[in-house]
Amino acid sequence: MSDLRPRNRTSRLVRRRRTIVVTSIVAVAVLVAVVAAVAIAVAAPGKKAPMPVPSASGSATTTPTATPTPSPTPTPTPTFNKSAQSLDDPNSYWVVVNKLRPLAPSDFAAADLVEVPVPYVNQPFLRQVASDAVVAMFAAFHAETGLSMQSQSAYRSYSTQVRVYQGWVDSLGQAGADLTSARPGYSEHQTGLAIDINALPDQGCALEVCWGNTPHAQWLHAQAWRFGFIVRYPGDKTPITGYESEPYHLRYVGVQLATELHNTGVTTLEEFFGLPAAPDYAK
């Protein structure tokens, strides 16, 4: 019995040590489990947050890229098809005519020219869609400002442009004429998609740079895209278009393209379509 006591004492000590060791092991195991659980819980939602960042690189998996893409892009047409219409065919609403890109054939005349039912200085004709757009634009301008506009000059045939250009050559010389008016076969007015707009009644500055200061010009600059028109010759783009500022010259390109130009802030067809600048005629 006496022998047992110390044995019992030692075994109790051992048991206590074992208990302490086992308890501490269990405690550490529980701690590790808790830490792991917390780490997983924290990591799971944390992974969702940085997802949109790598999606910008495009190399992320398909699932995360699909979710964040629609929210940061407000543009309705992020993949605008620049090849949807011809830039060369004079019948195309996107035809680009400048000093390096004459109409082909040079005496082209659109088949759907109609008289534009708006007030005018010179009786205006345009292609049907452009005419409808002018009527809608003039009506919206009047409704929104209480002011009125009229057509100064719209479609000009090849033979008319011969006379117009010669008139400018007579008064300004050829160099001056080339800054103001197009040579026959090179005029946007021959496409039936371009119109020079004036105030009604005429308040001066018709067909001049100073017309840009009128409320009419400022409204057109900001709103014409809604009706498919662009101000074709901006004052800061003479080296690209080859023309000085013409705040009165509006070119119909269709609502889709005009909206894309408005949204992207690109102001010339040459820049938008990556065409060469056309400061002057080919020598």
- Site residues for Zn ion per CB under 5 A: 196, 249
Contact 98, 186 (CB under 8 A): yes
Looking at the Cβ atoms of 80 and 158, the one nearer to Zn ion is 158
CA–CA distance from 96 to each of 138, 189, 197, 252 (Å)? 25, 12, 20, 11
Nearest distance from C-beta of residue 164 to Zn ion, angstroms: 10
Shortest Å distance, C-beta 112 to Zn ion: 20
Q: What is the DSSP letter of 97?
A: -
Query: Which residue, 127 or 249, has its beta carbon nearer to Zn ion?
Result: 249
Of 76, 96, 77, 101, nearest to 85 by C-alpha is: 96
Minimum CB separation of residue 193 from Zn ion in Å reads 11
CB 165, min distance to Zn ion, A: 12
Of these residues, 115, 188, 244, 246, which one is catalytic? 246
Shortest-Cβ-distance residue relative to Zn ion: 249
Q: Which is nearer to Zn ion, 178 or 196 (CB)?
A: 196
Contact 216, 147 (CB under 8 A): yes
Please, what is the Cα angle at 132 between 84 and 260, to 5 degrees?
A: 35
Distances (CA, A) of 199 to 92, 156, 180, 218, 226: 29, 20, 20, 12, 20
Residue 141 or 233 with smaller CB distance to Zn ion = 233
Radius of gyration of the CA atoms of the chain, in A: 36
DSSP state of 98: B
246 catalytic, yes or no? yes
Bridge partners for 148 per DSSP: 200
Of residues 189 and 259, the one with the C-beta less far from Zn ion:
189
CB of 157 to Zn ion, least distance (A): 14
Residue 101: DSSP 8-state: B
Q: Which residues are marked as active site?
A: 246
